[in-house]
A = this chain, B = another copy of it.
Amino acid sequence: MSFRETLKELVEEVEGGLGAILMGYDGIAIDEYIPAGSDFDISLLAVEYATLMKEIRRTVEVLQSGDFEELAVATGELRVVVRVVNDEFFVVLIIDRDGNYGKGRYLLRRSVPGLRAALS
Please report A residues at the B interface, Cβ cutoff 8 Å: 41, 44-45, 48-49, 51-52, 55-56, 59-60, 62-63, 65-78, 97, 102
**Which secondary structure dominates where chain A touches chain B?**
mixed
Assuming A48-B62, A48-B63, is B73 touching A56 (CB within 8 A)? yes
Residues of chain B contacted by A68 (CB below 8 angstroms): 73, 75
Smallest Cβ-Cβ distance to A40: which chain B residue: B65
Minimum-distance CB pairs A-B, first 5: A66-B76, A66-B77, A70-B74, A72-B72, A66-B75
CB <8 Å contact, B71 and A75: no
26 pairs from A and B in contact (CB 8 Å cutoff): A45-B63, A48-B59, A48-B63, A51-B55, A51-B59, A52-B56, A55-B55, A60-B73, A60-B75, A65-B75, A65-B78, A66-B75, A66-B76, A66-B78, A66-B97, A67-B75, A68-B75, A69-B74, A70-B72, A70-B73, A71-B71, A71-B72, A71-B73, A71-B74, A72-B72, A72-B73
